[in-house]
Amino acid sequence: MQSPSQRPKICVVGAGFSGLNAIRHLKDVGDVKCYEQKPLPGGIWRYDEERSKLDSTKLTPENDLFAAHNGTAYDSMYDNLQLFSPFWFMQYKGHEFPRDTQPLFIMQPQFTKYIEEYTEKFGLHTNIQYNTFVLNVRRQAPNTESKWEVTTCPYDNRERKTTELFDYVVVANGHLAVPAVPHFQGQELYDGKIFHCHDFRDPIKQQLFKPDSKVLLVGTSFSGIDLISMLLRNTKHGEIPLKSITVSGNTVYLDKSTDFAHYYKSGKLIMKSARIAELKNDNTVIFDDGSVEQHDVIILCTGYQMSYPFLKEEGLVKLTHKNKYWPLYKRIFCIDDPRLMFIGQHDTGFLEHFIRERQSITIREVIAGKVKLPQWTERWRDLVSSWEKYGFDDSNLQNFYRLSTHDYELQIINEFHSVVPHLTLNKKFLAEIGPVISKCFEHVLKGDWITFYEGSQYIALVKEGYVSDTEEYDF
């Protein structure tokens, strides 16, 4: 066993789902200190109702430290969010949800409670310094032997800075905080409301829509489809009297939706593959196919961008124009200095959380000295080989981290396992959930969220014979 003086000091940035998991695994092999900007664990999953009531137009980087650090006034959680994965896809090793948990797709408050229980069970609070922003992460010297200087400040005082030295830095601050907001020609002339779904909280309390509003929703990924479903549901119940919702973007999958078919027929929901070209007054929207329409509200479901402002000075990793940080070995380790590690750059998959835990375990084994990473040349060669294997280049680099199929999810898990082959992979678990996830992708991509959320028979059947991701398997 290592003596206290021999144990490496590990900094974890963020105590959200990924950060908590990292603390749990890494404190076995080092002295872990995590910095979290919120007063409690959970990261994005902790809905801050009080902050959500603040006027975002009056919160600027100059007068508000949260806005300065995140680039936005508040985080991306909205009221009554329902998770898009069955609850057993979202659980940590060693802390399962009760089998009788309802609904199958739990609500955000249930998931926050689960995270709190996990934090208590594994005693993670003692490793977390809450209400703290990470301002800068840099090496004392430009080599792989020097310590990392991590400079922080309290939530309410950016001038009271503290710097601490670490041997390793694990970045786990998430990727759903800073919205990617496009700007359109003539936007300043547009008379209607235009906002990113990041600012969506409670449409009734926010008074977002007037009666018979025509809404244009831009974007057809998970957040876009989720909002379509929510707005249609509330319109049906009379809570939000919308005239129509037009969806602009890649609608090739949504066109096949059976859940939305009657909305298409009634004209309540309209698919439009054309994109916005220009905005004008009188709520006028001109599309790139030449068509002109009037829309009272435009909701931008255009995704989020990675943001690691505390790494800008060091410059070891760079943000590509396709919004991903690179170069990383095995999508985890900074190639030029693998003591800088990342968890959770992946998105749009159903095994995101399973994958993040495997990243934490892989990092633990490397720090513990159980495995040794290859030299710089080999790390680069491996990255280039991965790009070529999956057909990626800088033009589509975002898809390198996009878990768009279950097969790709499995490939990435096996890629992590190749770093730690001495650990036992739960192949039975992965084999069993494969058909479920494939079905999930099929439903969600088509927009069949009603069928999806009601818990189809295939999900119920698999749940009965579910093989857990338990401690029996160490990877």
pLDDT at 7: 94
| 216 within 8 A of 297, measured Cβ to Cβ | yes
* Torsions phi, psi for 300 (to 5 deg): -95, 105
Q: Which two tokens stand for residue 168?
A: 């390793």
Could you state, in chain order, the average pLDDT of each consecutive group of 10 residues for the chain (475 residues)? 74 96 97 94 79 58 61 65 79 86 84 95 98 94 91 88 98 83 94 88 79 93 82 73 92 83 92 96 96 96 84 77 70 94 81 90 97 95 81 61 68 90 86 76 70 58 54 74
| 31 within 8 A of 10, measured Cβ to Cβ | yes
**CA separation for the pair 206, 224 (Å, rounded):** 19
Helix, strand or coil, per DSSP, at residue 130:
coil
Q: Which two tokens stand for residue 117?
A: 């229980």
pLDDT at 398: 59
**CA separation for the pair 48, 403 (Å, rounded):** 28
pLDDT at 155: 82
pLDDT at 158: 81
138-155: burial string, b at 16+ Cβ within 10 Å, e else: bbeeeeeeeebbbbbbbb
pLDDT at 403: 58
Domains of the chain: 9-177+305-464 (3.50.50.60), 181-302 (3.50.50.60)
Residue with tokens 């601490």: 164
pLDDT at 329: 92
Report long-range pairs for 237-241 (Cβ below 8 Å, ≥24 apart): 239/204, 240/203, 240/204, 240/209, 241/209, 241/211, 241/212, 241/213
pLDDT at 1: 42
